[in-house]
A = this chain, B = another copy of it.
Amino acid sequence: VTGSAFGIVGLGLVGGSLARDLSGAGANVIGIDRDGDAVEQARAAGAIAAGGSDLAQLAHADAVILAVPPAATARLLHGLSPHVRRARWITDVASTKASVLAAAGAAGLGDRYVGSHPLAGGTGTGFGAARRGLFTDALVYLSPGAAPAEVTAAVRDFWLGLRARPLLIDAAEHDHRVAWTSQLPQFAATMLGVTLHRAGLPAGELGAGGRDTTRLAASSPELWTDIALDSGPHLLAAVQAYHMALGALLESLRAGDGAVLHDFLDEARRWHAAGSAVQP
Main secondary structure of the interface of A (DSSP, over half): helix
Chain A interface extent, by class:
35 or more
Q: What is the CA–CA distance of A271 and B198 in the complex, to the nearest angstrom?
A: 10
Q: What is the CA–CA distance of A136 and B1 in the complex, to the nearest angstrom?
A: 51
Within 8 Å CB of A264, what residues of B?
A: 190-191, 194
* A193/B267 contact (C-beta < 8 A), A201-B180, A258-B225, A272-B214 known: yes
A35 → B minimal CB distance (Å): 20
A122 → B minimal CB distance (Å): 8
Does A181 interact with chain B (Cβ within 8 Å)?
Answer: yes
Determine which residue in A119, A188, A220, A262 has the highest number of CB atoms from chain B within 10 A of its CB, and name it. A188
Does A56 interact with chain B (Cβ within 8 Å)?
Answer: no
* A203/B245 contact (C-beta < 8 A), A196-B181, A212-B215 known: no
Task: Please encode chain A, from 197 to 227, with 1 for each CB lying within 8 Å of some chain B CB and 0 for all others.
Answer: 1110111111111111111111111101100
Within 8 Å CB of A191, what residues of B?
A: 242, 245-246, 249, 264, 268
User: How many copies, total?
Assistant: 2
Q: Which of B184, B194, B204, B208 contacts A245 (CB 8 A)?
A: B194
Does A189 interact with chain B (Cβ within 8 Å)?
Answer: yes
Chain A residues 176 to 195 lying within 8 A of chain B, measured CB to CB, are: 177, 180-182, 184-195
Task: Please encode chain A, from 56 to 94, with 1 for each CB lying within 8 Å of some chain B CB and 0 for all others.
Answer: 000000000000000000000000000000000000000
Within 8 Å CB of A275, what residues of B?
A: 202-206
Task: Please encode chain A, from 229 to 260, with 1 for each CB lying within 8 Å of some chain B CB and 0 for all others.
Answer: 10000011011111101110110011010100
Besides A185-B213, A194-B271, A204-B275, 8 more A-B contacts (Cβ < 8 Å) are A139-B207, A185-B210, A188-B213, A204-B278, A228-B253, A229-B256, A229-B258, A239-B246
18 of the cross-chain contacts (CB-CB < 8 Å) are: A139-B207, A177-B201, A177-B205, A180-B199, A188-B192, A189-B268, A191-B246, A191-B264, A193-B267, A195-B238, A202-B278, A214-B268, A218-B269, A218-B273, A229-B261, A239-B249, A239-B253, A243-B243
